[in-house]
Amino acid sequence: MNVLKIAAFSDGETGGNPAGVVIGDALPPEARMQRIAAEVGFSETAFAAPTGGGWRVRYFSPQSEVPFCGHATIALGAALALQRGDGVFALTLNQAQITVEGRRDGDVIAAALQSPPTHSAPATPELVSDALALFGYAPGDLDPRIPPAVAHAGANHLVLALRSRKALSAMHYALEAGRALMQRAELTTIVLVHAESAQRFHTRNPFASGGVYEDPATGAATAALAGYLRDIAWPHGGAIDVVQGEDMGMLSRLHADIPPTPGSSIRVSGTARVMTA
């Protein structure tokens, strides 16, 4: 079975988050998809097969299936553009229907996804306390302008905003403890974020629930963050730029367009590069 390896949200010819992409006439059995994802070893592998006028898609991390993965969707959009030509492709996920667009411009592939609908709710004091303890942060490290929340755009993400870039850079935690917390709270990831300005953010994204210490680019979490910023009337001006993966040496760039309608889909875009090894 041919597995394409594509880094999504790349910084030119470097960086980005590697994803596996498998496109076939039909989806393999679930156990085989899980096994392939574990063998590929990336944080997610997307599996796609044609259905009606679009594509049926499922996403697997090395340890479990996830309901939605942004960077693997971007990688899939790039792969479909390479195989089928430029276009907008309808995707049917386990719990939502979305689209991804892929367009080639020389050696660069631009891709954009429309997220599932968004919603958010304040994080409970217990969850915030447990998360702070996990990372060794204190309440004073939090940015009060962006209160802790559970944000959703196809999957649940805990958003913790930090006052300083230094605190973000110092992130560390125990993987097994992180996995236990995320599973207990039904979180896909935790979004640690620092607001450099109203429209430029730095993020880090622990993904212990999927057996991955940290993702260098996370489109689903970026969509959830963007939706949450809309919910709290953050002065985003209709769009934000996110820099992720910098502390991992895998600089990634994500852009999110934020329409004014509460709960509506977020457009997350970036570039992708095909990995040769």
How many angstroms from the chain centroid is the CA of residue 168? 18
- Residue of 13, 44, 186, 196 with catalytic role: 44
Q: Determine whether 126 is exposed, middle or buried from the number of CB atoms within 10 Å of its CB (0-12, 13-18, 19+).
A: exposed
DSSP-derived secondary structure for the chain: ---EEEEES-BTTB--EEEEEEE-SSPPPHHHHHHHHHHH-SS-EEEEEEETTEEEEEEE-SSSEES--HHHHHHHHHHHHHHH-SEEEEEE-SS-EEEEEEEEETTEEEEEEEPPP-EEEEPPHHHHHHHHHHHT--GGGB-TTS--EEEESSSEEEEEEBS-HHHHHT----HHHHHHHHHHHT-SEEEEEEESSSSEEEEEEEEGGGTEEEES--HHHHHHHHHHHHHTT---TTEEEEEESGGGT--EEEEEE--SSTTPPPEEEEEEEE---
DSSP-derived secondary structure for 112-149: EEEPPP-EEEEPPHHHHHHHHHHHT--GGGB-TTS--E
* Known catalytic residue at 246: no
* Catalytic residue set: 44
